[in-house]
Structure 1
């Protein structure tokens, strides 16, 4: 394949083999550019310091993830890290994000790579079709203002269909439409900027670093909060009733609250223009100490392993869930309703937790200057409704909430429905914070948020449902992890009981079972991949290859000799 190298002297093309080391390409670069020695730098962006050629020489083309037609930049000069442009690096979920050049562990050629779903929605028009009405005065092939398609952000349509927040991609298209009307330039400028409420501790205006000095350049501007008009995810769909029911059973049996992680995928949601839904296939319960009125999360040592198993199945962490249930005492299965419009929906502590969790799972997008904006990670609480029934409620927090928590500007208060604005102290500078609301006269007014403001200004509400014809990836057969206090043990006897069911196509389709069996280390690497491919694709040939493999026979032998 051909790799292109650009330098001050122009562009050159180098023929390389995908399996060869990068030293072959570097030798050709040195010859064609007439470089006297190998003291030059390779980067994936202009004005970036990149990596010294010696650091890349022994890596293969495949390790560097280079592809036919890629462009690299050659320079025999280096820059300090403070002057260097940001470099794109890959995150753990396969997407890429922009990080500081001084922290790049290795060269990564790929540019910002968002989810395929986001690429598809970027290309989609999203217009809302309308039928010919009685107001139309044209033929069947004509179109007028009464029947022309509506944009996906049309306020009247959203209100008519009781859609509280427009979708993220509808919001993007609205911004781009507005920008295109103002600026006819053909060049594309990313319309989104992540909110940042932190003071710049490395200001270059010539004064001493804060708190010894401050200027208008490094000082964050006053913040005006208002409820976010769009949401990153519009809907949460549970693949089957059993996914949620098995999770709630922990509370039913013990009365103790429970925490879990949603594993699933993101899909298009057709009930909202350009909408996105998170499909939850499994709930993994990490180590935790459960109490009647709360949960203490413990160290989750095998999180990376669980994530890798999920990734092999085309899944990822899409959210978190916890219970807040109290029996009504009426002996009819009803529970108390503690969360409503006159109390709170998410408490201030839960909002802070949701903000930190969303920051750990950034949404990768090419429409942001930084390559990321907010998050698709959702927060679900299982609680009681006004009828005393158990139901899930799903939320996200706004991009402003994430920025406030990152800047350490807000904290919990003694009132669960109020967020406390912190005081300026040490290296923490808290700007003026206001929030906009509609008063009793229907007018929008601005109020000072100090010392505290309502949690609702940081919340975004999502919808949830179960499919009418469920086709879940998993069937629950195996004990759920970290439930030893309930007598639910994951051990060889449990594995044996599941496999003795006889129907491997059902027995193996359990996320908790897969994680436990693969963690045992009995199955070889290739057989583990065969197992995961079978669960993902349901190919009977893969199943036959698995059950006839040597490592599977070893597993069965171990089970036969277990108590």
Structure 2
């Protein structure tokens, strides 16, 4: 883009693009033509707004009016409002263009998704997994135990110590950390993320798609379980580590067009106690995104730099304290697509972020090598056999570990309802009880969002007893039901 060019950014539920002109004397008709070329929507069917679609301020101009006359500024965002049929047509056009580009250029590796993994589960159909091959961690260790039977020091996975070194009077070369040579991880700590109940994730996705210009996130609540490998007949008898998901928890957050920021959760401790009472834990998180492909990214952005950074922090937070490894998963949910993509950040990637080597770049598809502070040594970062200078960027795909994503063949919900809102109040509690007044308590309270709300208004120990009973689908004992009724009378007006 030349310095003299004039750029208008056009944003829609199907992504954003830059319309570039020689100057602001270009006409509105020329802008409409660029939109038609990009999205396939004729000028007379284009609905443009100066403000977000929630409070639109429509652009009403003649096709011969200049952009300067309309009052548009260099870099300004216009919002293209798409009807349902238009959105579907744009999606089809983008898919066809992407397939054509893939045929022309060497494709990037793709992850196995909810859609493809369902085919994998069908023995009549086989789907080729063209993505990087990752071995279950326990198999990887077993193979190394055989290979290095006489060299036990080589069995454990590599450790990554990139801790910065301050230069003092004298630093021995042997004490400097090694360079960070980025390599794809051969193993994965969790193999499959499987939804045992499809209602929570479908509700989360459908509510987001009503206003998809703002991204959302939710924690995946479930259990890690080692089970027989039912996805690959060639590996029959082997086991996979599943993250079985039964519920979603929506934490405080700030959603933006290109991402979401998790905010401090004042109830985090209470929520985790209730989750544990149900015999579960936070096994991952899901984040939404619009389309964000581009040639400079060599196709899709699987995870943005900021998503990788946050995911690495979450993996660090929810790692196993005994092993130091994390099984925490990131699930990418895309607009208008049934399938989702599962990832982890490699152990090396987590270490590089933890020790300050890399950080998200302003360009969301890249990570940046951090500049060393004065009198501090940071190891060099090597990616694809090239050193990335400090302050420069690189595509972070090699830091990702693919995780299979699927729905359970047989749905096994833990909770009966998904009615209670994630930001519930006493008023919501009162309405919920009135609606379910004729049901036994273990059914009326069989709503995960309700259970994690209750510690805000009554005794935590009592709530945990109720949650434990409800999650097992057992009736409340008379003594427990009486204590619950007494607590409800105290907290409800």
How far apart are the structure 2 equivalents of 1:544 and 1:350? 47
Q: In the TM superposition, what is the alpha-carbon distance from 1:215 to its structure 2 partner? A: 1.7
* Equivalent residue for 1:539, pick from 474, 482, 492: 474
After superposition, the Cα gap between the structure-2 partners of 1:223 and 1:232, relative to the gap in structure 1 and judged at 3 Å, is same
Deviation of 1:381 (Å):
1.6
CA apart distance, 1:285: 0.9
Structure 2 residue aligned with 1:180: 149
User: What is the distance in 1 between the residues matched to 2:135 and 2:368?
Assistant: 29
Paired position in structure 2 for 1:262: 220
Aligned 1:121-270 pairs, distance under 5 A: 164-182=133-151, 191-200=156-165, 210-255=167-212, 256-269=214-227, 270=229
Q: Relative to structure 1, is the Cα distance of residues 361 and 409 closer, same or farther in structure 2, using a 3 angstrom cutoff?
A: same
Preserved CA contact (<8 Å) 2:217 2:250 = yes
Query: Counterparts in 2 of 1:64-143, with a 5 A limit?
Result: none
Out of 378, 388, 411, the position equivalent to 1:449 is 388
**Alpha-carbon distance in 2 for matches of 1:499, 1:505:** 11
Is contact 1:211–1:426 with CA below 8 Å preserved after alignment?
A: no
Stretch moving more, 473-482 or 260-269: 473-482
Deviation at residue 524 of structure 1 after TM alignment: 7.7
| TM-score normalised per structure 1 | 0.57
User: Match for residue 504 of structure 1?
Assistant: 441
Matched length: 355
Structure 2 residue 412 is the aligned partner of structure 1 residue 471: yes
For 1:553, the equivalent position in structure 2 comes to 485
Equivalent-residue separation in structure 2 for 1:376 and 1:463 (angstroms): 13
**What per-residue deviation string (whole Å, max 9, x for no partner) do you get for residues 276-306 of structure 1?**
1111111111112334443333221110110
Alpha-carbon RMSD across the aligned residues, in angstroms, is 3.0
User: Do structure 1's residue 290 and structure 2's residue 231 form an aligned pair?
Assistant: no
Kept in 1, the 8 Å contact 2:293–2:299? The answer is no
| Structure 1 residue 351: Cα displacement | 0.9
The 1:490–1:553 alpha-carbon spacing in structure 2 relative to 1, beyond 3 Å, is: closer
Structure 1: how far apart are the matches of 2:269 and 2:454? Answer: 16
Cα drift, residue 267 of structure 1: 0.7
Q: Is the 8 A contact 1:481 1:490 kept in 2?
A: no
Cα offset for 1:364? 4.2
Distance apart, 1:348 and its partner CA? 1.2
Report the equivalent of 2:431: 494
3-state secondary structure, aligned to 1:164 = coil
Distance 1:306 1:176, change over 3 A: same
Secondary structure class of the residue paired with 1:317: strand
RCO higher in structure (CA 8 A, sep ≥6)? 2
Aligned-partner Cα distance in 1 for 2:438–2:298: 48
Aligned-partner SS, 1:243: helix
Q: CA deviation at 1:481?
A: 1.8
Q: For residue 117 of structure 1, what is the aligned residue in structure 2?
A: none
3-state SS of paired residue (2:226):
strand
Q: Deviations over 1:209-228 (max 9, x none)?
A: 53554222321112211111
> Which structure's residues are more often helix, by fraction?
2
- Does 2:353 match 1:405? yes
Q: Is the 8 A contact 1:250 1:258 kept in 2?
A: no
The 1:470/1:543 distance shift into structure 2, 3 A limit, reads farther
**Compared with structure 1, are the counterparts of its residues 319 and 409 closer, same or farther at alpha carbon in structure 2 (3 Å cutoff)?**
same
Matches of 2:427 and 2:252, distance apart in 1: 14
Paired residue for 2:422? 481
> Gaps spanning 5+ residues in structure 2: where?
1-126
SS in 2 for 1:363: coil
Q: For 1:306, which of 265, 271, 278 is the aligned residue?
A: 271
1:465: Cα distance to partner? 0.9
Greater Rg, structure 1 or structure 2?
1
TM-score (structure 2 length as normaliser): 0.65
